[in-house]
Structure 1
Amino acid sequence: MGDSNISAFPLHRRRKLVEGIARVLESKNGEDANAFWRSTAKQILFQLSESGIAPGLAEQEVGALLHAVLGDMAARSAAKFAQ
């Protein structure tokens, strides 16, 4: 089966998804945080693959999601610091 041209709504624009992952990551440290992210990324990659998203595009989506999550965490941290 060849790669598909299907495109999903960008993961990094799904605010509830981004904020939910960011909140969980903020509650974890070190290896626990790494393990949570790896498990989440693997699960999302599997879901995208099952939906017919090409592997390269799925990996780009998960990478953009990670950047959005880290950005959300940084913004929340800066807001707390500013208070």
Structure 2
Amino acid sequence: MSDSNISAFPLHRRRKLVEGIARILESKNGEDANAFWRNTAKQILVQLSESGIAPRLAEQEVGTLLHAVLSDIATRSALTLA
């Protein structure tokens, strides 16, 4: 049996997901924010794995999602300061 070639709709393009995670992270500080992100990432990795997504691709998706979340936070912060 070979590795799966299944790919998911890119997580970083799911605006509600990105914005929802960003808003929660903005409301947390320090270890609370870290714990929230680790838990969220772990849950997403499990969901992707259960959907048949290869582990390396799932990890890449979660990493790209984190960048999108951080970008969303930075954009919103810049707009607030402007």
- The secondary structure found in structure 1 opposite 2:8 is coil
Instruction: Structure 1 unaligned segments of length 5 or more: list them.
Output: none
Would you say 1:47 and 2:55 are equivalent positions? Answer: no
Aligned equivalents of 2:35, 2:15: Cα separation in 1? 22
Q: Which residue of 2 aligns with 1:76?
A: 76
Q: Which residue of 2 aligns with 1:33?
A: 33
How far is 1:2 from its partner? 4.2
CA root-mean-square deviation = 0.8
Question: 4+ runs of 1 displaced by more than 3 Å?
Answer: none
Deviations 1:15-65 (A, max 9, x none): 000000000000000000000000000000000000000000000000000
Instruction: Structure 2 unaligned segments of length 5 or more: list them.
Output: none
Aligned equivalents of 2:3, 2:70: Cα separation in 1? 30
Percent of aligned pairs sharing the same letter: 85
